[in-house]
Amino acid sequence: MLTENNIDHEVVLYMKQKPTAETLRQLVSILEDDPSELVRRDKFFKDTIAGEQGFDAERLSDPEVVVALLAEHPRLLQRPVIVSADVAIIGRPRERVPQLFGL
């Protein structure tokens, strides 16, 4: 969508360039969404994090818990995350993206 509208952007391959805790804190600080929404609740989360590790999903209400969890398990990062200047959003549903760029 950004390419189609000639908007310069950088794609960060988060599994190759894993986000640091500090990067995640900065992201959380400008995120319009609730920080808990950054965590995917997929099979890995349900089986490993919640199941094997006994992680209570209610803990995700604490942004520092979200940062620590995503720093340790970056595959749980909800994507795409769109960052523009001093605002970040989760790009789902896709219709949210044009609003951020005034399209």
Q: Could you tell me the CATH number of the domain that includes residue 9?
A: 3.40.30.10
How many Å is the Cα radius of gyration of the chain? 14
> Is residue 29 in a domain?
yes
- Asked whether residue 86 carries a pLDDT value surpassing 80, the answer given is yes
Structurally, the chain folds into a number of domains equal to 1
> Is residue 27 in a domain?
yes
Of residues 101 and 55, the one with the higher pLDDT is 55
Task: In whole angstroms, give the CA distance from residue 46 to residue 86.
Answer: 32
- Model's pTM, two decimal places? 0.86
Q: How far is CA 24 from CA 28, 34, 75, 94, in A?
A: 6, 13, 13, 22
- Please report the pLDDT score of residue 90 as a whole number: 93
> Is residue 61 in a domain?
yes
> Is residue 95 in a domain?
no
Range of the structural domain that residue 76 is part of: 1-80
- Asked whether residue 49 carries a pLDDT value surpassing 80, the answer given is yes
Task: In whole angstroms, give the CA distance from residue 35 to residue 24.
Answer: 10
Q: At what angle do helices 63-72 and 21-30 cross, to 10 degrees?
A: 140
> Is residue 97 in a domain?
no
- Asked whether residue 91 carries a pLDDT value surpassing 90, the answer given is no
Which residues does residue 39 pair with via DSSP β-bridges, in sequence order? 77
Of residues 6 and 22, the one with the higher pLDDT is 22
> Is residue 92 in a domain?
no
